[in-house]
Structure 1
């Protein structure tokens, strides 16, 4: 065999696993949009359950996108009149030996000499199938029966399966009408028969000595049973070996990462699988494929049929998840990664406005997108080196930046801009704001200048400068440099003592909370003599009424900063109401308060009022690390603050809020707001940019250990995680909670551009050797150096101190 052929054979090999029920895993299975058709309005995802003890060793489960409580398909073997389906009944219980997006391979032994391999394949959004290849290692023939049994329940009622008959002959199993579909299971060459009162599908085969046989079944969930039979027949026609080979070939683009810890490796691998499975194909309203947050068995069905009733995680490209997804996909599926950026720009208005959450059903949220698109675009380019995206998006990205820099986002014209909606931040739970949240102070974010927005805008301009430099556009490059200086000045103005912080947009002052009224009766006038130094705004909270929002007005009298009398009325429309209370911020700044009175409240209501506290310490104080363009001394101070366990540096990663904040244990999203992979990524990137690779490595390791334990116990990733306990929070199976692949690759110092080109080198702080294989290239990074092996057989060795560099295979192409 030639060296080239030997390398090609090596390239096609997939990692072999031995994943048992107690091992960390996430076996959700959905059609891979790169290879298979998908349907945004009716996507039926499945989950493979590895049982233990006296439970079924293999169960394939779904909820049909939310139509059913649960539906399961269980294979049951019969040999020598003995059933084999429980974990303990197998000679070698089933284990997962390989997986890729849309495919899971399982192996086991029914008896010591009768083994099987199963391929579970998601063919499209409504179809899934299983192929068993059973091998008889005995010197004599053996008779074996396979039963395929179905169970389902909806609205706490069991749904008994029924026998379905094909018009042209043939049988299947169905659960009858489930809302608008009729699920169908077909066993190739099998027959339906009754087992007690429940039907099942069954086939008996005789396997010759030292031979094997193939058994296949398919499940289809369509709106008509006859369509389902036709589609099942179509899917059973081709050779599935070619389909599996195609899936495995596509998996060569997926980075295979070996750290020496199999459990951590599995967590990484399942995270990448879930990331790829989050993608769906384009619709009529978005020109490119997009992602959903929870491609899980209970999500994916639109009862309206158009997708507009999908829940939050399915309702548009949230920018924080877009950043994680696009950069995670960039080296694997560049078209999809670039499409995420292009989808935002596809809905851009003439004035540069880009909606914050364009969706596959035409969803829009109406507020300006987080300024993240140029950074995302430049990041994608680092993995693809395809400058078509840069050339085609440079002008729209400049228009988007210009829209952010309009006067409506900078009311005082000082070059430090204001958010216009808490949702724009990606995290509407910060204790300073948190509209409708009882633990938060409910300040109006529109009246605040915040360091996170200043950092985002600076990062955008730095990225636009890099794009202009690459494209050799001197005019744009000079324009960007001028804006960088302006934005750096604005960000510097938000530096207070040893951190970045919030300030009032008009007064530019930071102030601590001053209580003005506490538990005042709603029907009584409050006579007050309170001075606010520095002058500040008030937050008024009305408590009572449970679900009833009263038609209230609150009149505040006092003096302005010039000592002149001043009055402001907060009408009912100024209040944001939640269960049992409403809050509003004054638009005017008061130097003193003399009286607060209400109109429209009875004595059952209570009034609280305090000045805005702009001193809370949260992750936004540190986020400018990520913006790159801050000086070394400030960066070092921020890293010192970040890595203090008494503030942010906790067991499972970085918290959203300092542990010293009074709301740390009260937050709706868990202690300290939890650990979120998006902010872990931004902080990790900031650490790397400023030379703190050791801290970035420790951060990603903490996250990996956490996710591994959650996968071990809960068999799924979660939207975010507890700061101290091995506990997933938020939605189960949310893509926002998978390992941030982009950050991991930056920590490992590897970018595989193609089978012939790699970037690697720089600081390596993992401590032990790590091997990354992608596109047929293998890179081994270790404390003593780096080795790169290309598919051609060409290798390069780098010393430990080698900087990040480009390595190209000089071997002539065949």
Structure 2
């Protein structure tokens, strides 16, 4: 793993979870952890979690007593903690407590329910020293301290039960812990272990926290991980896996760190296969406050955990293909695995069988093509193509293209990926509330054109003689309709009504009381749909029926009746949209309402704009003149802000820079799309400026907020939402495209015309080292061959001319990715013990006594309980707890008294 030296003020995103490449993940109860570097009189180092949202905070704080003096506060350390190595499930931190005393602290998230670590303490002095390690637990839930208790084990040592926290009972174990002794009132429960270090000597102390539903299980499993697991081989395996990752050297250490954290988040976001999804999948915020399913099935996970979205796939999977190709290809196969016979692919298949029942946005072929370009896996492409071809055709079925003009419609604004959309959002009060099913959207046309063109590339890669005429016919039909959406006055594409194919402007036709009818018979030019609102009441929609009569856009007399179920009801207000576009409205009547309610009738405004309407620039669907006009629109100050381009223009009535109670913010997905758009048309200077903004905004967030975010405040640059959102990464694939290079394999590189950075950019991977500059790409292959490649006007491929070594013939791997995971560690432990003929250790089994009953003395301890555990000699192992000591959660100790301190301060973050 690469060596870093990242301290509190530098780019950090120190959250860790079990690694899907190395262990099985519990989708229903995945517990991730975070390292916190403190400042001032706060603890210099803490390990913390929220157990998937079940706790406000649970922390393990190490305190060291060196030469009789406690050291834990940040301002008391000689050298502040620095992160030197990290992986998705591992971190190594160094710090110096005293001039003569140096500590290396390692964190290892072993499993979804188990975390551990070790402290290697070194005496750099000329005299022996004694160091005591105290591990102090703290837990807060619903703004109240959680009651903890000490567990006295039969061997007279102790463990710390961190309390009952939302259905789990975490237990802390420490290697070398001292003998159990009752703790005086007012002293916080903790575990302690002491070591005496010779001059220039060192010692290691390990610890584990296991959180299972039952306290006994937590103790047993924690004990096995602490004492029966081969730590060295497991940690060496972590090192080996992560040594294979690409190494980046950009000449900017902060950019290097931002890319490393992005790669870290991308890998950490993966979970292992489930019964419903046969391949690895991803979640979008694998952080301490997420991962717990209260109903135990995973079906109640929130939107960040309830399925894999193709837009997230666009941002993350090409990057993951550089890091762990099996994960990226496996996730893609999940979409193909849920395909119906008619080509339908759900937009967000979930690990617990969740489905949105929306057709996946037409972006799959684009992602598949990128994965092929990176992995060079032609078998994958050959298997995917017929399925992608059927999926593309499914978009033109009558349920998606209702007016049969060859240009489909979105289901709603969530389907489009921009929600809430000020025009079409129907779940918040500040939006217009129009129905997106009745509109034709420029962004969907852009997706379909790009998807079709990508399918043609895939078809020709699979079979150079492939007949792609049917695909081209679809593309031409979409392009013809998209062409009619161009608004020369706005230098942008515009929404248009599905039936009238015109862009209407909205107005209010009527405001009245609930029992009043509307009969002024206005003529609407162009014909338009009506938005019918009912205002009043509470959170329950009234029993109302709305009758509308008039003539439709063709002049035909029509009428319709909308019921309560047609209203999207928010607290105190509901809205419905007519299915007809009216040329004349003859009569509207709200039946069933009293005068307590207010009614409102308005027409749909399709003339408002947002960033998605510039997407034809990305698809290459605009000619040179329109591309230039779209570039100018994008660079207009309404969109182009200090921290990136905003999803809504600043002159829109619903615009807010922080996306709070309105629409706005700078979103990573749309930044990436726009950078690609500008590059596609040769607007390199603008693409470079937007890319640099994207980089600096993320570096700033990593330094100030210690995370990467899906969106940022357009005015302040502050990250919005949860940290470590997968959509918020700085994609390695985008950076490599921006510097015009790609390592395909150990013998092949691709290089392009663009270089958007100011300094050389180097990547080392698969034994290949590539350095890109503005005018050339320099390559060193594992064979030793070196080549300087001059940039051309388009992408080129270069293959190492050194003859390839003769390899032994091996059976071809199947095209479908199936990752073979190791069995659960506890099983490994049993097999390891058998293999080594090792004696079975004595394992403490806890016997919980009534906390209100005074604990017995150790000699009078009851017989140990017996719990089955994997071992060599016996079917059972015994670990006895002689009694428990349950005490109130008191403040941890201060530095004034190392033996019985009472004023130790730990800042606590609430729920």
Q: Please, what TM-score do these two structures have when normalized by structure 2?
A: 0.84
CA distance in 2, matches of 1:344, 1:701: 33
CA distance in 2, matches of 1:619, 1:488: 19
CA distance in 1, matches of 2:793, 2:457: 24
1:668, CA displacement in angstroms? 4.8
Paired position in structure 2 for 1:48 = 35
Q: Which moved more, 1:440-449 or 1:654-663?
A: 654-663
Paired position in structure 1 for 2:726 = 735
CA distance in 2, matches of 1:249, 1:630: 48
CA distance in 2, matches of 1:624, 1:273: 33
Paired position in structure 2 for 1:230 = 220
Higher relative contact order (CA 8 A, sep 6+): 2
Q: Which structure 2 residues correspond to residues 366-405 of structure 1 after superposition, within 5 A?
A: 366-405=357-396
CA distance in 1, matches of 2:343, 2:427: 31
For residue 804 of structure 1, the aligned residue among 792, 795, 810 is: 795
Are residues 1:570 and 2:562 paired? yes
1:220, CA displacement in angstroms? 1.1
Paired position in structure 2 for 1:3 = none
1:126, CA displacement in angstroms? 1.0
Are residues 1:503 and 2:496 paired? yes
CA distance in 2, matches of 1:252, 1:750: 21
Shift in alpha-carbon separation, 1:149–1:607, aligned structure 2, 3 A: same
Are residues 1:468 and 2:459 paired? yes
Secondary structure of 1:673 counterpart: coil
Secondary structure of 1:526 counterpart: coil
Q: Which moved more, 1:163-172 or 1:133-142?
A: 163-172
Secondary structure of 1:533 counterpart: strand
For residue 638 of structure 1, the aligned residue among 630, 634, 640 is: 630
Q: Which structure 2 residues correspond to residues 616-765 of structure 1 after superposition, within 5 A?
A: 616-646=608-638, 648-665=639-656, 668-669=659-660, 672-765=663-756
Preserved CA contact (<8 Å) 1:436 1:582: no
Secondary structure of 1:408 counterpart: coil
CA distance in 1, matches of 2:805, 2:77: 50
Q: Which moved more, 1:504-513 or 1:220-229?
A: 220-229
CA distance in 1, matches of 2:728, 2:668: 6
For residue 412 of structure 1, the aligned residue among 397, 403, 409 is: 403
Paired position in structure 1 for 2:517 = 525
CA distance in 1, matches of 2:523, 2:725: 48
Are residues 1:138 and 2:125 paired? yes
- Higher gyration radius (CA): 2
For residue 202 of structure 1, the aligned residue among 174, 177, 192 is: 192
CA distance in 2, matches of 1:456, 1:476: 22
CA distance in 2, matches of 1:667, 1:55: 31
CA distance in 2, matches of 1:243, 1:715: 28
Deviations 1:560-601 (A, max 9, x none): 445565433322222111122111111112122343321111
CA distance in 1, matches of 2:210, 2:747: 42
Shift in alpha-carbon separation, 1:24–1:478, aligned structure 2, 3 A: same
1:410, CA displacement in angstroms? 1.3
1:802, CA displacement in angstroms? 7.6
Preserved CA contact (<8 Å) 1:108 1:115: yes
CA distance in 1, matches of 2:553, 2:193: 87
1:66, CA displacement in angstroms? 1.9
1:328, CA displacement in angstroms? 2.0
Q: Please, what TM-score do these two structures have when normalized by structure 1?
A: 0.94
Paired position in structure 1 for 2:872 = none
CA distance in 2, matches of 1:468, 1:561: 42
Paired position in structure 2 for 1:586 = 578
1:389, CA displacement in angstroms? 1.4
Preserved CA contact (<8 Å) 1:167 1:226: no
For residue 18 of structure 2, the aligned residue among 9, 15, 31 is: 31
1:718, CA displacement in angstroms? 2.5
Q: Which moved more, 1:25-34 or 1:472-481?
A: 472-481
CA distance in 1, matches of 2:553, 2:77: 80
Preserved CA contact (<8 Å) 1:394 1:467: yes
Secondary structure of 2:433 counterpart: coil
Preserved CA contact (<8 Å) 1:763 1:801: no
Preserved CA contact (<8 Å) 1:136 1:211: yes
Paired position in structure 2 for 1:255 = 246
1:151, CA displacement in angstroms? 0.8
Paired position in structure 1 for 2:526 = 534
1:807, CA displacement in angstroms? 3.2
For residue 306 of structure 1, the aligned residue among 288, 294, 297 is: 297
In structure 1, the gaps of 5 or more residues are 1-13
1:200, CA displacement in angstroms? 1.6
CA distance in 1, matches of 2:658, 2:551: 35
Shift in alpha-carbon separation, 1:252–1:754, aligned structure 2, 3 A: farther
For residue 433 of structure 1, the aligned residue among 420, 424, 427 is: 424
Paired position in structure 2 for 1:489 = 480
1:254, CA displacement in angstroms? 3.3
Shift in alpha-carbon separation, 1:169–1:476, aligned structure 2, 3 A: farther
Secondary structure of 2:10 counterpart: coil
CA distance in 1, matches of 2:440, 2:273: 38
Paired position in structure 2 for 1:11 = none
1:397, CA displacement in angstroms? 1.2
RMSD over aligned CA atoms reads 2.2
Paired position in structure 2 for 1:320 = 311
1:25, CA displacement in angstroms? 1.2
Paired position in structure 2 for 1:214 = 204
Paired position in structure 1 for 2:98 = 111
Secondary structure of 1:583 counterpart: strand
Paired position in structure 1 for 2:603 = 611
Deviations 1:429-463 (A, max 9, x none): 11110113222211111111111111111122111
CA distance in 2, matches of 1:805, 1:565: 61
Preserved CA contact (<8 Å) 1:544 1:605: yes
1:602, CA displacement in angstroms? 1.7
Deviations 1:278-333 (A, max 9, x none): 10001111111111111111111112111111122111112221222212211111
Paired position in structure 2 for 1:76 = 63
For residue 339 of structure 2, the aligned residue among 327, 335, 348 is: 348
CA distance in 2, matches of 1:562, 1:38: 58
